[in-house]
């Protein structure tokens, strides 16, 4: 039973839906994101079950204090999920640091700042589930999204290292690698997407299982192949 | 914004039964000033404090969630042993083991000991523990001549039995103040050996009869009950009485601690440290039914009624023979359930409790019955009657059913005017505790809590579960 959870990036998409489903199942959830109105809307649907915190993950210096505040308010911590992420549209020939920097700040630095807090705690308490949302995009550096792909590859490697530190104590350290999912992030993309409710349900089910997980067997097979594609061929593909 | 208490301070703490746990910020003070500092930090950070001794209470009395844990175990100095008055003056983190090891040679034994020597005096007084001599010696609080307590506001008070606060601080499960020093009156002994009489007992009637026969005679009495026994075998088990002895020598060698030490091996061969691994496969209904039956039959055939000498340590701390025995209950852990019932109702209530277990197929793997007497402490568990202590294995599957069983057993105890013991509790509902402790005692507790700890700094998961933490009311 997950009694208390923290979800960073819970105002929309997968973070929101995981928060909703957990609250429905009786978990007390602390939801964190910039758009407080969205968080409060969710909280209104589950009186007493959801605590809202307005926070921008790029305000790194706030994070240790806020983490303490939230665990105090929750009265415990069984699951920590980092779901914040950004993926601005980047053109095939665009090299824009203005667009790239937020991906480094949110997908990497914010993730490290938050996950370090949760990991240090769980390293000591030897209890809990630590989950981060990576992406299939982190499997290869594709020409379309250099920094987004790299940010997710960073997250996967960072989470692997955290896993190697603390999973031995019985902490579940989990990297989720979703494929295209129906959320605001991908609203502009025309492709087959997994409904967000389905993705969230799978994330919750996998949250106790240490390791890296795709959300569908098709992805697992497809990305096994893509991962092992020789670079000199991969380079020629327009992906 | 509260001040950051670092995650590097954190540990997960569980009760001895390992069923309940909580993540806490661990502090181990070594002196009174550090105790005050921790209380001060709690006030500044808005966090609460849970007090912890050796963590031997089974349920959730020595844990809390997201609180500061004040672990008293490093305050373990013995200040003095007064051979004239038989009093030991020491810090409250001194354990029962430390106490007997340091005083046995002078001819002293702790007046009250629990089935394990691990508890600290602070924890023993928090719960006001009883021994197999409870019907003559009462709980441990009756043998304390003075103690120091740090109140949640940082004031230090020295309490003697005539001070009204004395009987409240002792027994109130660490919710009114931090005990930091204790002066305890020891029992004088002339030998490290007891004379022990084992008796195989066929049924409930036999059990109660022996207790009554020896009540004014024996120094210690305890009986083991096979909870799998049914029909005419219900209540069967093995009773032990013991008496202090005298030896002719001026300094009997039985008073040397090294002669009391428990052996390192079982049957001279199995290293004790691995024994729990062999117990684990037996630790289910079928294994335990067989083990209980074997023990009963062995008691009928071997040594029944034959008195023999046994060391105080071996007799008192039977459960310390097998280190880590509780691991045999992993992964789910176990709960202990002990109820105290006035003597006129005990035979009926205990027989019914065991019958309910059998009906639910949730028999206790170990049943232990003792004789008690009433005492004047605030959260007293003493009655003029008997207690039956039971161990139940907890699994994810049986948990709900087990709690239902416990609640059905509670109802019997409440109706019979009985009591419960917080050190052994995991299943009480607030109403069960209120009904048994009495509204007068409860009102006095809340008055004291408001006076001594108005911000409700001191808490525990047990306090929150039983409605004893006023901070919960304001939520
Ligand atoms: C194998 C075994 C056998 C046992 N046999 C018996 C028995 O025969 N008789 C019996 O009575 N009990 C028995 N017990 C229970 C045990 O004696 C009590 O639970 C005792 O309180 C444990 O002491 P501790 O030092 O481990 O304290 P903990 O369990 O850590 O704490 C006990 C309580 O004291 C409070 N406390 C801790 N420190 C302080 C302090 N400084 N000031 C005030 N309060 C404080 C805690 O908050 C808690 O409520 C047994 C337990 C085990 C595991
Ligand atoms: N959708 C997909 O197809 C897909 C596929 C693979 C992986 N992912 C990954 O899944 C995760 C969730 O994305 P999603 O698809 O659910 O997208 P989403 O609906 O856009 O949600 C993104 C979340 O991140 C939060 N966020 C963004 N910037 C933030 C900041 N500076 N501070 C705090 N929070 C911030 C947002 O909250 P605020 O804006 O309110 O702050 C929002 O709650 C992301 O890591 C994403 O990379 C998505």
Residues B390 and B448 in one domain: no
Q: Which of residues 58-87 of B touch A (CB under 8 A)?
A: 65-66
Residue B436 included in any domain:
no
Residues B199 and B338 in one domain: yes
CATH number at residue B404: 3.30.70.2520
| Total number of domains in chain B | 3
Q: Which residue of A7, A8, A9 sits with most ligand 2 atoms within 8 Å of its CB, as the best mutation to test the pocket?
A: A9
Of B168, B188, B208, which marks where a domain is finished? B188
Q: How far is the CA of A211 from the centre of ligand 2 (A)?
A: 21
Residue B455 included in any domain:
yes
Torsion sign over Cα A188, A189, A195, A200? negative
Q: Which two tokens stand for residue B201?
A: 């007992």
Q: Are A83 and A7 in contact (CB under 8 A)?
A: yes
Give the global pTM: 0.95
pLDDT tens figures, B389-433: 999 999 999 999 999 999 999 999 999 999 999 999 999 999 999
Residue B164, SS3 per DSSP? coil
Whether residue A34 has a cis bond before it, omega within 30° of 0: no
Residues B172 and B303 in one domain: no
Judge if the beta carbon of residue A145 lies within 6 A of ligand 2: no
Residue B439 included in any domain:
no
Q: Tell me, what DSSP letter sits at residue B213?
A: H
Mean pLDDT of chain A: 96
What is the percent of chain A with per-residue pLDDT over 70, rounded to a whole number?
100
Residue B208 included in any domain:
yes
Residues B384 and B420 in one domain: yes
Q: Which two tokens stand for residue B369?
A: 């019955």
- Position B276 scores a pLDDT of 87
Task: Tally Cβ neighbours within 10 Å of residue B194.
Answer: 25
CATH number at residue B20: 3.30.43.10
User: Which class for B162: exposed (0-12), middle (13-18), buried (19 or more C-beta within 10 A)?
Assistant: exposed
Residue B49, SS3 per DSSP? strand
Contact B22 A64 (CB under 8 A): no
Residue B38 included in any domain:
yes
| Domains recognised in chain A with CATH numbers | 4-237 (3.40.50.720)
Residue A172, SS3 per DSSP? strand
Q: Are B54 and B96 in contact (CB under 8 A)?
A: no
Residue A109, SS3 per DSSP? helix
Q: Which of residues 86-125 of A touch B (CB under 8 A)?
A: 117, 120-121, 124-125
CATH number at residue B151: 3.30.465.10
CA distance B7 to chain A (A): 5
Residues B56 and B82 in one domain: no
Residue B90 included in any domain:
yes
In this predicted structure, the answer to whether residue B4 has a pLDDT above a threshold of 60 is no
Chain B residues within an 8 Å CB radius of A120: 7-8
pLDDT tens figures, B16-73: 999 999 999 999 999 999 999 999 999 998 999 999 999 999 999 999 999 999 999 9
Q: Which two tokens stand for residue B167?
A: 């009987």
pLDDT tens figures, B23-38: 999 999 999 999 999 9
Torsion sign over Cα B90, B95, B100, B101? negative
Q: Tell me, what DSSP letter sits at residue B458?
A: B
Average pLDDT over residues B317-345: 93
* Residues flanking ligand 1, CB < 6 Å: B 16, 51-57, 61-62, 72, 92, 114-116, 119-120, 122-124, 126-127, 129-131, 173-174, 178-179, 319, 423, 460
Quick one: which H or E segment has residue B146? strand B144-150
What is the ipTM metric for this complex?
A: 0.89
Q: How many helical (H) and strand (E) elements, i.e. helices and strands, does chain A have? A: 9, 7
Q: Which two tokens stand for residue A201?
A: 């349900």
Q: Are B70 and B150 in contact (CB under 8 A)?
A: no
Q: Are B5 and A117 in contact (CB under 8 A)?
A: no
Domain, as residue range, for B465 = 7-72+444-474
Residues B160 and B19 in one domain: no
Q: Please list, residue by residue across B302-337, b when 16 or more beta carbons sit within 10 angstroms of its beta carbon and e when fewer do.
A: ebeeeeeebbbbbbbbbebebeebbbbbeebbbbbb
Q: Which two tokens stand for residue A137?
A: 């995009």
d(CA A130, CA A208): 9
d(CA B74, CA A13): 50
Task: Tally Cβ neighbours within 10 Å of residue B295.
Answer: 13
Strands lying side by side in the sheet with A79-82? A50-54, A28-33, A4-8, A79-82, A129-133, A172-177, A211-214
- Position B249 scores a pLDDT of 87
The ligand placed nearest to the CA atom of residue B73 is 1
Residues B155 and B208 in one domain: no
Of B169, B188, B207, which marks where a domain is finished? B188
Nearest residue to B228 via CA among B91, B136, B359, B108: B359
**Residue of chain A whose Cα is closest to the Cα of B46:** A72
Residues B346 and B212 in one domain: yes
Nearest residue to A46 via CA among A21, A74, A83, A77: A21
d(CA A151, CA A27): 30
Residues B336 and B458 in one domain: no
Which residue is listed with tokens 């024996």?
A: B218
Residues B221 and B344 in one domain: yes
Residue B437 included in any domain:
no
CA distance A103 to chain B (A): 28
Which residues have C-beta within 8 Å of that of residue B413, sequence separation ≥ 6? B339, B340, B341, B349, B419, B420, B432, B436
Quick one: which H or E segment has residue B311? strand B308-311
Of B1, B8, B9, the CB nearest to A69: B1
Residues B152 and B198 in one domain: no
Nearest residue to B392 via CA among B368, B363, B358, B354: B363
Quick one: which H or E segment has residue B206? helix B204-214
Of B173, B188, B203, which marks where a domain is finished? B188
Q: Are B362 and B392 in contact (CB under 8 A)?
A: yes
pLDDT tens figures, A161-181: 999 999 999 999 999 999 999
Task: Residue count of chain A, please give it.
Answer: 239
Residues B130 and B220 in one domain: no
Q: Which two tokens stand for residue B10?
A: 């954190």
Residue B435 included in any domain:
no
Ramachandran bin of B268, using left for φ above 0, alpha for ψ from -120 to 50, beta for the remaining angles:
left
- Position A237 scores a pLDDT of 84
Q: What is the distance in angstroms between the CA of the first residue and the CA of the last residue of chain A?
A: 42
Q: Which residue of B15, B51, B335 sits with most ligand 1 atoms within 8 Å of its CB, as the best mutation to test the pocket?
A: B51
Q: Are B149 and B179 in contact (CB under 8 A)?
A: yes
**Per-residue confidence at B270, pLDDT binned at 50, 70, 90?**
confident
In this predicted structure, the answer to whether residue B2 has a pLDDT above a threshold of 70 is no
- Position B83 scores a pLDDT of 97
Q: Are B26 and B62 in contact (CB under 8 A)?
A: no
Residue B417, SS3 per DSSP? coil
Q: Is A49 on the interface with B (CB under 8 A)?
A: no
d(CA B128, CA B426): 18
């Amino acid at each position: 039973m997950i009694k208390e959870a923290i979800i960073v990036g819970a105002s929309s998409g997968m973070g929101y839906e995981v928060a909703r489903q957990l609250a429905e199942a009786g978990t007390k959830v602390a939801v964190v994101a910039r758009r407080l109105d969205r968080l409060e809307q969710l909280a209104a649907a589950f009186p007493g079950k959801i605590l809202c915190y307005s926070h921008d993950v790029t305000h790194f210096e706030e994070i240790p204090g806020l983490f303490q505040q939230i665990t105090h308010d929750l009265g415990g911590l069984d699951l920590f999920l980092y779901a914040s992420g950004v993926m601005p549209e980047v053109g095939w020939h665009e090299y824009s640091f203005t667009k790239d920097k937020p991906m480094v700040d949110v997908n990497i630095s914010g993730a490290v700042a938050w996950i370090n807090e949760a990991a240090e705690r769980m390293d000591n308490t030897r209890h809990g589930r630590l989950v981060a949302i990576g992406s299939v995009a982190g499997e290869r550096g594709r020409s379309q999204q250099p920094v987004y792909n790299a940010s997710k590859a960073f997250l996967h490697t960072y989470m692997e290292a955290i896993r190697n530190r603390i999973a031995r104590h019985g902490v579940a350290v989990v990297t989720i690698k979703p494929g295209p999912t129906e959320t605001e992030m991908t609203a502009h993309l025309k492709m087959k997407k997994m409904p967000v409710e389905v993705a969230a349900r799978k994330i919750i089910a996998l949250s106790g299982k240490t390791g890296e997980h795709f959300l569908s067997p098709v992805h697992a097979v497809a990305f096994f192949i893509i991962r092992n594609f020789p670079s000199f061929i991969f380079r020629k593909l327009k992906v | 914004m509260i001040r950051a208490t670092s995650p590097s301070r954190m540990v997960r703490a569980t009760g001895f039964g390992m069923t309940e746990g909580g993540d806490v910020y661990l502090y181990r003070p070594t002196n009174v000033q550090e105790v005050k500092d921790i209380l001060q930090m709690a006030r500044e950070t808005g966090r609460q404090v849970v007090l912890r001794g050796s963590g031997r209470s089974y349920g959730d009395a020595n844990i809390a969630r997201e609180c500061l844990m004040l672990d008293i175990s490093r305050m373990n100095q013995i200040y003095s042993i007064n051979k004239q008055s038989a009093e030991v003056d020491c810090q409250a983190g001194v354990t029962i083991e430390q106490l007997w090891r340091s005083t046995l040679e002078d001819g002293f034994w702790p007046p009250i000991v629990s089935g394990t020597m691990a508890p600290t005096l602070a924890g023993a007084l928090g719960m006001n523990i009883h021994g197999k001599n409870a019907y003559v010696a009462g709980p441990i609080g009756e043998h304390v001549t003075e103690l120091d307590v740090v109140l949640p506001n940082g004031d230090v008070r020295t309490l003697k039995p005539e001070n009204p606060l004395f009987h409240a601080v002792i027994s109130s499960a660490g919710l009114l103040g931090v005990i930091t020093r204790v002066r305890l009156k020891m029992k004088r002994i002339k030998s490290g050996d007891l004379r022990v009489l084992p008796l195989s007992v066929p049924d409930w009637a036999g059990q109660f009869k022996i207790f009554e026969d020896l009540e004014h005679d024996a120094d210690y009495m305890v009986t083991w009950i096979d909870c799998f026994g049914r029909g005419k075998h219900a209540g069967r088990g093995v009773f032990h009485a013991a008496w202090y002895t005298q030896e002719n020598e001026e300094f009997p060698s039985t008073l040397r601690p090294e002669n009391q030490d428990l052996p390192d091996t079982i049957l001279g061969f199995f290293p004790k440290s691995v024994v729990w691994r062999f117990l684990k496969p037996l630790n289910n209904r079928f294994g335990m039914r067989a083990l209980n039956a074997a023990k009963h039959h062995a008691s009928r055939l071997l040594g029944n009624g034959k008195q023999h000498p046994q060391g105080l340590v071996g007799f008192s701390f039977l459960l310390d023979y097998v280190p880590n025995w509780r691991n045999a209950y992993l992964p789910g852990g176990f709960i202990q359930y002990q109820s105290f019932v006035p003597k006129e109702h005990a035979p009926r209530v205990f027989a019914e409790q065991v019958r309910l277990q059998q009906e639910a197929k949730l028999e206790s793997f170990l049943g232990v019955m003792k004789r008690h007497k009433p005492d004047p402490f605030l959260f007293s568990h003493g009655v003029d009657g008997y207690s039956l202590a039971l161990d139940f294995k907890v699994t994810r599957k049986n948990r709900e059913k087990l709690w239902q069983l416990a609640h059905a057993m509670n109802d019997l105890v409440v109706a019979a005017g009985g009591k419960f013991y917080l050190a052994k509790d995991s299943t009480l509902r607030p109403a069960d505790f209120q009904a048994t402790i009495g509204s007068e005692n409860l009102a006095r507790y809340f008055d004291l809590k408001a006076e001594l700890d108005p911000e409700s700094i001191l808490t525990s998961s047990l306090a929150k579960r039983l409605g004893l933490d006023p901070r919960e009311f304001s939520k």
